[in-house]
């Protein structure tokens, strides 16, 4: 079973309306992950249960300011929806009272017992919390997490790290023996890896603390029985050593996205990228955090496996969001590789490449480099396609480059020339597509007439 964030293009190039093109542009590239039949069945069953619950649930108006803490937690889903945002603001005001309750969400509230730490009096409650996440939703949250996620079309589909990271830190108390395998299998590790790149210093420290405690729990004897723990520990320790060389407890958004995507591969031996990625990780006692790991071999697909190129393109698409990310990417010939491989790729990959460049062109300093050092406007002027969505993306890339570049008389003339070339290319592609359709109709008519002339039944009847 594969997890997808965008429908996959099949067949040849098909012209699409601007509305459809805009919708596909918003969705981004495909992230495909193979799953075992057992995991696939569990997620399918969970999805059916959630659908039934959502259909049967009746929205209830809550007086947030006067509601009890139990009522707030029962109705809290730890998401970025407007409802959960309001509840979260109320929970922040009652932070001390939250120590008397263990869980959140419908039917997950437990009353406190009179012990020194009532929230996690025994590991059973901690393990219940670790089971409360949806792995697929956690992976999507970690890959897409951004400061503007609250403005996304479906903010309720993303977890709120401001609530979950502190909860995880308290859950992984060293006094409690937790099942660390659940942290991996239920998606908590994705949120930890995303938290390592957050701007909020408090949440970032919470992520590093949770990371340390996950390592502590995975090194316990009871976890050694799991067949993949050796690979997981090597990966986590290599990342820890790499972060230690940075001099600060913060990694870039690009590296954080790479870690999330790599962990999704490492935890599933059935993934097509598993053998190649684990071979690379096991050969690295320290994972360098100042450069995109294994970019050139993965992008060039030196072993003939094109899936590695698709994988690293998805990492670039979701990871290159700030100028800091692009500084890391430019330590390697990233833009050169993207442009040189464009014409050789299939339609879906070409869309992803243009999308990556468009995100970079939205940052003024990166757009300046693209124009001055890589002559990207001239590269854009040579793109000819009949696909409406790709035409829309090319036009968007052109506008981003133009609006974020320092203009002068020669550069103004350059962009006017590029705009004219794009219009000519689109007109040429439309005319070529029309001729192809006409030729196809004529060929079909000729074939039908030939079949009729060679029809033995028709000859006998004559």
> Using one digit for the tens of pLDDT, what is the confidence trace for 286-305?
999 989 998 988 888 765 56
404 and 311 assigned to the same domain: yes
Instruction: Quick: pLDDT tens for 47-84.
Output: 433 333 333 344 456 676 777 777 887 788 888 888 88
| Mean pLDDT (whole number) for 256-280 | 92
Residue 217's domain comprises 63-267
Highest average pLDDT, of 13-17, 113-117, 439-443, 458-462, comes from 439-443
| Mean pLDDT (whole number) for 441-454 | 52
pTM: 0.77
Report if residue 177 sits inside a domain. yes
CA separation, residue 161 to residues 110, 138, 237, 349, 390 (Å): 22, 10, 23, 31, 34
229 and 85 assigned to the same domain: yes
Which pLDDT value is given to residue 367? 93
Report if residue 354 sits inside a domain. yes
261 and 344 assigned to the same domain: no
| Site of tokens 């870690």 | 259
130, two tokens: 């670790």
**Least confident range of 170-184, 266-280, 420-434:** 170-184
Q: How far apart are CA 257 and CA 234, in angstroms?
A: 19
CA angle 308, 153, 26 (to 5 degrees): 40
* More confident call, 125 vs 380: 380
| pLDDT interval class at 116 (50, 70, 90) | very low
Question: Of 199, 233, 267, at which residue does a domain stop?
Answer: 267
Which pLDDT value is given to residue 75? 82
326 and 413 assigned to the same domain: yes
Report if residue 48 sits inside a domain. no
Report if residue 38 sits inside a domain. no
Which pLDDT value is given to residue 301? 75
| Mean pLDDT estimate for the chain | 76
331 and 192 assigned to the same domain: no
The number of beta carbons lying within 10 Å of the beta carbon of residue 112 is 13
Instruction: Quick: pLDDT tens for 170-182.
Output: 777 666 666 778 8
128 and 209 assigned to the same domain: yes
**Least confident range of 91-100, 186-195, 256-265, 391-400:** 91-100
| Mean pLDDT (whole number) for 206-227 | 83
79, two tokens: 């998401």
Report if residue 223 sits inside a domain. yes
CA separation, residue 449 to residues 438, 443, 445, 462 (Å): 17, 10, 6, 16
117 and 164 assigned to the same domain: yes
Domain count, the chain: 2
Report if residue 54 sits inside a domain. no
Question: Of 251, 267, 283, at which residue does a domain stop?
Answer: 267
Which pLDDT value is given to residue 65? 73
Residue 346 has pLDDT above 90, yes or no: no
Helix, strand, coil shares of the chain as percentages rounded to 5?
A: 65, 0, 35
Q: Are 233 and 219 in contact (CB under 8 A)?
A: yes
| pLDDT interval class at 30 (50, 70, 90) | very low
* More confident call, 9 vs 339: 339
Residue 164 has pLDDT above 50, yes or no: yes
260 and 302 assigned to the same domain: no
135 and 228 assigned to the same domain: yes
338 and 244 assigned to the same domain: no
Question: Of 267, 302, 328, at which residue does a domain stop?
Answer: 267
97 and 190 assigned to the same domain: yes
Report if residue 204 sits inside a domain. yes
Report if residue 118 sits inside a domain. yes
Which pLDDT value is given to residue 176? 60
241 and 297 assigned to the same domain: no
| Site of tokens 């050969």 | 283
Which pLDDT value is given to residue 437? 47
């Amino acid at each position: 079973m594969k997890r997808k964030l965008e429908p996959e293009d099949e067949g040849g190039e098909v012209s699409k309306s601007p509305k459809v093109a805009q919708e596909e542009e918003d969705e981004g590239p495909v992230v495909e992950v193979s799953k075992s039949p057992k995991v696939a069945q569990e997620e399918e069953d969970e999805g059916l249960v959630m659908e039934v619950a959502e259909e049967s649930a009746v929205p209830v108006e809550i007086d947030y300011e006067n509601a009890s803490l139990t009522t707030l937690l029962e109705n809290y889903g730890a998401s970025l929806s407007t409802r959960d945002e309001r509840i979260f603001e109320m929970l922040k005001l009652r932070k001390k009272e939250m120590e008397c309750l263990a869980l959140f969400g419908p039917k997950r509230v437990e009353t406190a017992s009179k012990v020194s730490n009532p929230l996690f009096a025994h590991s059973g409650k901690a393990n219940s919390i670790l089971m409360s996440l949806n792995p697929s939703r956690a992976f999507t949250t970690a890959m897409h997490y951004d400061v503007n996620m609250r403005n996304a079309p479906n903010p309720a589909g993303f977890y709120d790290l401001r609530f979950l990271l502190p909860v995880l830190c308290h859950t992984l108390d060293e006094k409690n023996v937790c099942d660390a395998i659940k942290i991996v299998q239920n998606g908590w590790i994705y949120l930890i890896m995303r938290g390592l790149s957050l701007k909020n210093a408090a949440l970032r420290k919470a992520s590093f603390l949770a990371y340390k405690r996950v390592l502590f729990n995975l090194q316990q004897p009871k976890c050694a029985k799991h067949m993949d723990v050796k690979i997981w520990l090597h990966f986590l320790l290599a990342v820890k050593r790499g972060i230690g060389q940075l001099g600060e407890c913060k990694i870039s958004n690009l590296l954080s996205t790479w870690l999330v995507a790599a962990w999704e591969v490492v935890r599933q031996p059935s993934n097509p990228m598993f053998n190649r990625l684990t071979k690379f990780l096991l050969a690295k006692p320290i994972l360098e955090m100042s450069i995109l790991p294994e970019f050139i071999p993965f992008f060039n697909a030196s072993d003939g496996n094109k899936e590695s190129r698709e994988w690293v393109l998805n990492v670039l698409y979701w990871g290159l969001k700030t100028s800091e990310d692009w500084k890391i990417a430019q330590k390697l010939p990233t833009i050169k590789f993207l442009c040189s491989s464009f014409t050789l790729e299939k339609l879906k990959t070409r869309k992803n490449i243009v999308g990556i460049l468009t995100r970079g062109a939205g940052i003024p300093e990166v757009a300046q480099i693209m124009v001055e050092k890589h002559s990207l406007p001239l590269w854009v002027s040579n793109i000819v396609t009949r696909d409406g969505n790709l035409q829309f993306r090319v036009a968007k890339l052109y506008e981003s480059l133009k609006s974020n570049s320092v203009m002068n008389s020669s550069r103004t003339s350059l962009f006017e020339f590029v705009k004219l070339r794009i219009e000519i290319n689109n007109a040429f592609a439309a005319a070529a597509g029309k001729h192809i359709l006409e030729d196809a109709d004529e060929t079909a008519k000729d074939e039908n007439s030939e079949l009729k002339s060679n029809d033995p039944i028709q000859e006998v009847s004559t």
